[in-house]
């Protein structure tokens, strides 16, 4: 009897299990081929999660050495903190495994969306194609925030017809996981309301979305003074607000200047024309679909909105910076996940009277292209591991010079290895971000005092974050930092405690 029940459940969920198994297998093989998490941001997200768990939560907030704890979505950091706590570990591995499983679930959700809005055949083929989509497989095995954000986005679409309240909640969670999806969610919310008018569906959808937005907004307001701080920060950065000469220019002026510049440049470039086409399409198609109350409105709304918001992020790198393009290609994953069922439905509806063999050839061709593209993408992404390996070697060298005291390091990958491999206590690592320069202090003695108060024994020069401290110390106390190692990833300095004591004593005298 028990075996019959199990067989019945397997038969019922056979398609889901097969697609999930294929997705897991593809991601495990990809992990074997690219074993090191090569993405610098993965370690920064880990740093926020780990430090929040061990320092920040007791203060009721997230925590970071670089002041970036609230510029990204909050929710994935909470998930990773929970995993670190449950498994009582400092390694990034649990979250990578979590993403692998979430990414495999995403392939099942693509199947469910295709099956739910179109038919079983489109669902199966969509899930299979996304399961072997190389960019998704590559980014699903690193500790980034994108994978779980896509899970929430796809889940929201799948549930929107039957459970609008939960769909709204999931859509809001996607925005609290990936900043760009915050903007996507707002546009989808408005488009859905436009389609449903004043109805029970639209009301419950709004309530679900608003509940999550309110909860996270309250915390963000208490910590930053802005309930949508991650989105505001991201847009301010895009509009050039952090460029020194734009420091005192109002956000609205920056936005208008940026739009004027882009509208003068995009029509002259192929990628720009694509971006403008997506934006214009969304502007006109969404209201038209809402007015006509198209039956398949929801998947089109989600797809067009996601395409319009995310495509400018990676298309701007096309033809210029290939390495950054590969890194930013993660933005294509939610677009492809939503686009596959939609495009297959369009193709097959146009081939209704065509022989079945033609339809099969289309599927086979897509499968061959996707599998073959792994041969192109795997070597390129694999080469990125070198930077992480260099940072690991810096951590090894730091440990050789470290006896006690505090290490000043702004490089999250180094900090990860110091804590994970050498069990350095998290409070024994600080960043240059909160040096006297952060508070607008120029007095060189305050920098020496900052080193003394924090009991700094090792200081790491990695990038521009260290420059303000370096400029002051090298100018006024040139013998205070002693170079011990000059490595490709960073320079290691010890703090001469004798010189530091003399500085402090001379100041007192």
61 burial type by CB count under 10 A (0-12 exposed, 13-18 middle, 19+ buried): middle
β-strands 429-430, 406-408 pairing: parallel
Listed residue (137, 89, 192, 66) closest to 462, CA to CA = 66
Give yes or no for a contact between 141 and 99, defined as CB atoms under 8 angstroms apart.
Answer: yes
Tell me the mean pLDDT in the region 2-6.
Answer: 61
At residue 67, does pLDDT exceed 80? yes
Give yes or no for a contact between 351 and 373, defined as CB atoms under 8 angstroms apart.
Answer: no
The reply to whether 403 and 333 lie within a common domain is: no
In total, the chain counts a number of residues equal to: 509
The reply to whether 330 and 391 lie within a common domain is: no
Predicted structure pTM score: 0.93
The reply to whether 289 and 404 lie within a common domain is: no
Cβ neighbors of 17 (< 8 A, separation 6 or more) are 10
Q: Which one of 383, 416, 448 terminates a domain?
A: 383
At residue 263, does pLDDT exceed 70? yes
Within-domain flag for 471: yes
Which pLDDT band, with edges at 50, 70 and 90, does 238 fall under?
A: confident
How many structural domains is the chain composed of? 2
The reply to whether 365 and 483 lie within a common domain is: no
The reply to whether 253 and 137 lie within a common domain is: yes
The DSSP element (H or E) to which 115 belongs, if any, is: helix 93-117
The reply to whether 112 and 157 lie within a common domain is: yes
Count Cβ atoms below 10 Å from residue 128 Cβ, excluding itself: 23
Q: Which one of 383, 399, 431 terminates a domain?
A: 383
Within-domain flag for 47: no
The pLDDT, as a whole number, for residue 91 is: 97
Listed residue (379, 381, 321, 335) closest to 146, CA to CA = 335
Within-domain flag for 65: no
Which one has a higher pLDDT value, 297 or 110?
Answer: 110
Count Cβ atoms below 10 Å from residue 384 Cβ, excluding itself: 17
Which pLDDT band, with edges at 50, 70 and 90, does 250 fall under?
A: confident
The reply to whether 241 and 358 lie within a common domain is: yes
Q: Which one of 368, 383, 398 terminates a domain?
A: 383
Give yes or no for a contact between 95 and 80, defined as CB atoms under 8 angstroms apart.
Answer: yes
Within-domain flag for 474: yes
Please give the share of the chain, as a percent, with pLDDT higher than 90.
72
Within-domain flag for 54: no
Within-domain flag for 394: yes
Give yes or no for a contact between 112 and 184, defined as CB atoms under 8 angstroms apart.
Answer: no
DSSP state of 463: S
Q: Which domain holds residue 16?
A: 2-35+70-383
Within-domain flag for 196: yes
The reply to whether 322 and 399 lie within a common domain is: no
- Dump pLDDT digits (tens) for 182-205: 999 999 998 888 888 778 888 999
Give yes or no for a contact between 456 and 495, defined as CB atoms under 8 angstroms apart.
Answer: yes
Q: How far apart are CA 81 and CA 95, in angstroms?
A: 9
The reply to whether 195 and 262 lie within a common domain is: yes
The reply to whether 358 and 390 lie within a common domain is: no
The reply to whether 319 and 434 lie within a common domain is: no
Which pLDDT band, with edges at 50, 70 and 90, does 358 fall under?
A: low
At residue 69, does pLDDT exceed 60? yes
Q: How far apart are CA 175 and CA 213, in angstroms?
A: 9
Q: How many CA atoms lie within 13 A of 220 on its CB side?
A: 23
- Dump pLDDT digits (tens) for 386-422: 999 999 999 999 999 999 999 999 999 999 999 999 9
Within-domain flag for 355: yes
The reply to whether 326 and 444 lie within a common domain is: no
């Amino acid at each position: 009897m028990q075996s019959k029940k199990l067989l019945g459940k397997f038969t019922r969920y056979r398609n889901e299990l097969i697609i999930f198994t294929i997705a897991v297998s593809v991601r495990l093989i990809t992990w074997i081929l690219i074993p090191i998490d090569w993405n610098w941001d993965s370690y920064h997200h880990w740093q926020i999660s780990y430090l929040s768990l061990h320092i920040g939560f007791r203060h009721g907030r997230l925590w970071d050495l670089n002041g970036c704890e609230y510029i990204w979505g909050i929710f994935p950091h909470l998930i990773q903190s929970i995993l670190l706590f449950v498994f009582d570990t400092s390694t990034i591995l649990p979250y990578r495994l979590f993403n692998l499983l979430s990414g495999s679930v995403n392939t099942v959700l693509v199947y469910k969306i295709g099956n739910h809005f179109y038919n079983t055949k489109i669902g199966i083929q969509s899930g299979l194609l996304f399961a072997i989509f190389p960019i998704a497989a590559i980014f699903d095995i690193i500790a980034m925030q994108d994978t779980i954000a896509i899970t929430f986005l796809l889940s929201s679409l799948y549930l929107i017809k039957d459970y609008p309240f939960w769909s709204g909640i999931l859509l809001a969670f996607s925005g609290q996981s990936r900043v760009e999806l915050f903007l996507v969610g707002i546009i989808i919310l408005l488009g859905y309301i436009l389609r449903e008018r004043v109805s029970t569906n639209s009301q419950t959808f709004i309530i679900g979305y608003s509940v999550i937005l309110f909860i996270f907004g309250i915390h963000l307001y208490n910590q930053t003074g802005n309930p949508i701080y991650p989105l505001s920060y991201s847009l301010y950065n895009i509009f050039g607000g952090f460029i020194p000469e734009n420091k005192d220019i109002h956000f609205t002026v920056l936005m208008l200047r940026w739009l004027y510049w882009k509208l003068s440049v995009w029509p002259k470039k192929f990628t720009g024309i694509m971006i403008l086409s997506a934006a214009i399409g969304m502007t006109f198609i969404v209201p038209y679909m809402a007015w006509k109350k198209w039956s398949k409105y929801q998947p089109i709304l989600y797809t067009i909105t996601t395409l319009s918001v995310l495509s400018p992020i990676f298309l701007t790198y096309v033809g210029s910076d290939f390495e950054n393009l590969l890194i930013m290609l993660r933005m294509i994953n939610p677009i492809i996940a939503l686009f596959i069922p939609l495009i297959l439905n369009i193709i097959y509806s146009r081939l209704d009277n065509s022989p079945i063999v033609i339809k099969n050839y289309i599927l086979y061709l897509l499968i061959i292209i996707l599998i073959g593209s792994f041969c192109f993408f795997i070597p390129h992404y694999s080469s990125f591991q070198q930077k992480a390996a260099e940072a690991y070697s810096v951590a090894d060298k730091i440990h050789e010079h470290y006896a006690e005291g505090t290490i000043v390091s702004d490089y999250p990958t180094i900090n990860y290895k110091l804590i994970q491999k050498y069990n350095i206590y998290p409070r024994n690592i600080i960043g240059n971000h909160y040096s006297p320069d952060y508070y607008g202090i120029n007095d060189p003695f305050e920098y020496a005092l900052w080193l003394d108060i924090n009991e700094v024994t090792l200081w790491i020069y990695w990038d521009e974050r260290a420059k303000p401290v370096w400029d002051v110390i090298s100018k006024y106390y040139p013998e205070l930092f002693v170079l011990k190692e000059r490595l490709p990833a960073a320079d290691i300095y010890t703090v001469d405690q004798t010189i530091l004591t003399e500085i402090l004593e001379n100041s007192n005298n």
